[in-house]
Amino acid sequence: MKNKKLIWILLLLALWQAVALSGRVSPLTFPSLGMILKALVSSIMAGELLSQTVFSLVIILEGLLIGTLLALVLAIVSRTGDTMNSFVDTLITLAHPLPGIALLPIIILWLGTGRSAIVFIIVHSVLWPLLLNIIAGFKATPKLYSDVGRNIGLRGIKLFYDIYMPSSLPYLISGFKIAWARSWRALISAEMVFGAVGGKGGLGWYIFKQRVFMDTAGMFAALLLIMLIGILIEEVFFNKIEKQTIRRWGMAEK
């Protein structure tokens, strides 16, 4: 599977380079791979792109952490009875369809245009898919597991931690993958609207600046960096978790 992905990526890069060198498009709108890589290396060496990448990652991790904690709490609350399950289901129905960018006017009124506003947008973007996946995992847990847990004295949080959480790992990891992708979209969109936060910006602000100054190669360099980070997280981090947890619990083929 990894080899197939690599082949497709190389084919797409070759197609991009062929179009860029065809002479039918302007380098200002469609830079070659060489121009993009040169802009990427020079920006990293200057320290600007690297620092803004770290800034973005810190905000994303903060939003993911808060979103995960809220999703776990709401998922556990939804399992305490029909009333709370109905309440959480109503929250999901109302909030999940709302894109974070649509909430920007309200968020600006409530929180301004600082760091907390961006974190709020990220939390909103990651909370609902995470919550849906965790609840789906809880519901998919065989009743036999929970019955055995109760028979050996597990109750409350201990039951969720020892029985429901391990059983829900495939759903939880799937939710994290969705949340990771949505957190990037939320961050980039928010920074393009808010601009620099606290005198400093992340990759969204960097892309916005490159567009203003018509540095198309620099803009694509930032996009390339986002894709490289996504591939690294997907292929190394999430795959490693799947191997060490899901297969350990006998939920995937070895």
Q: In terms of Cα–Cα distance, which of 38, 39, 37, 50 is closest to 200?
A: 50
| Position 171 in a domain | yes
Question: Could you give the number of structural domains in the chain?
Answer: 1
| Residues sharing a CB contact under 8 Å with residue 170, sequence separation 6 or more, in sequence order | 137, 246, 251, 252
| Position 186 in a domain | yes
| Residues sharing a CB contact under 8 Å with residue 195, sequence separation 6 or more, in sequence order | 113, 201, 205, 208
Cα separation values, 222 from 158, 188, 206, 229, Å:
44, 11, 8, 11
pLDDT in tens, the chain (254 residues): 567 888 888 899 899 889 888 878 888 888 888 999 998 898 888 877 888 888 889 999 999 999 999 998 898 888 888 888 899 999 988 888 888 777 888 888 888 777 888 889 899 989 999 999 988 888 877 777 666 667 776 666 777 777 777 777 778 888 888 888 888 888 888 887 776 555 567 788 888 888 878 888 888 998 988 888 888 887 777 777 766 665 555 554 44
- In this prediction the pTM is 0.81
The 3-state DSSP class for residue 30 equals coil
| Position 199 in a domain | yes
- What's residue 254's pLDDT? 44
- What's residue 251's pLDDT? 52
| Position 218 in a domain | yes
CA atoms within 13 A on the CB side of 116: 6
| Position 238 in a domain | yes
- What's residue 206's pLDDT? 84
| Residues sharing a CB contact under 8 Å with residue 158, sequence separation 6 or more, in sequence order | none
- What's residue 62's pLDDT? 92
Residues in the chain: 254
- What's residue 69's pLDDT? 92
Q: Is 204 exposed, middle or buried (0-12, 13-18, 19+ CB in 10 A)?
A: buried
CA atoms within 13 A on the CB side of 157: 3
Structural domain that includes position 224: 32-246
Q: Is 218 exposed, middle or buried (0-12, 13-18, 19+ CB in 10 A)?
A: buried
| Position 11 in a domain | no
Amino acid making up residue 99? P
Q: What are phi and psi of 200, to 5 degrees?
A: -145, 145
| Position 252 in a domain | no
| Position 90 in a domain | yes
The CATH number covering residue 77 comes to 1.10.3720.10
